[in-house]
Structure 1
Amino acid sequence: MDNSNLIKMANNIGAFFKSEPDRDLAIQGVEQHIRNFWEPRMRKQIVEYVDNGGSDLLDIVTEAVKKLAKS
């Protein structure tokens, strides 16, 4: 899948959870959504994007992807 599509999808998830007043819960929500609903290839690709310095993601999405990569 094209990175631009993944970025758009991830940022849409982030936009939904951004209204959560607790930043940690918002990050956890994004991480859990990606873990539950994205196929492994998509998760791997977004992790690689962040690992390679990708900067087009919302900050809570970037943090969620970093947490996803650790698990």
Structure 2
Amino acid sequence: MSDDKIIRMANQIAAFFAVQPGDRAGPVAAHISENWSAPMRAALLAHVAAQSPGLDPLVIAAAPQIRPVPA
């Protein structure tokens, strides 16, 4: 999957939860952790670590709560 698509999908999830009441980073992280494959999560977390442009701030806030990829 392309880098642009990973970022776009993560941002779409963040946009959905951004308008929900209460904690928003937790549900973003939970959705990604439960529905994304390990390679997709690894790619997203690499983008967060590299501070890739275009990531929604809510995705960045959710990143520490995303289930880590097994080594």
> Scaled by the length of structure 2, what TM-score is found?
0.85
CA distance in 1, matches of 2:24, 2:53: 19
1:66 paired residue among 58, 64, 67: 64
Q: Number of residues paired by the alignment?
A: 69
Q: Which residue is 2:9 aligned to? A: 9
RMSD value, Cα: 1.8
Deviations 1:16-59 (A, max 9, x none): 0000232xx11001000000000000000000011011131111
Q: Which residue is 2:54 aligned to? A: 56
CA contact (8 A) 1:50 1:66 kept: no
CA distance in 2, matches of 1:50, 1:69: 14
Instruction: Please tell me the residue identity of whatever aligns with 1:21.
Output: P
> Where does structure 2 lack aligned partners over 5 or more consecutive residues?
none
Are the structure 2 counterparts of residues 69 and 48 from structure 1 closer, same or farther at C-alpha, using a change threshold of 3 Å? farther
Q: Which residue is 2:27 aligned to? A: 29
- Identify, as 1 or 2, the structure richer in helix: 1
Q: Which residue is 1:38 aligned to? A: 36
SS at match of 1:20: coil
Q: Which runs of 4+ in 1 moved over 4 A?
A: none
> Where does structure 1 lack aligned partners over 5 or more consecutive residues?
none
CA contact (8 A) 1:47 1:69 kept: no
Identity %: 29
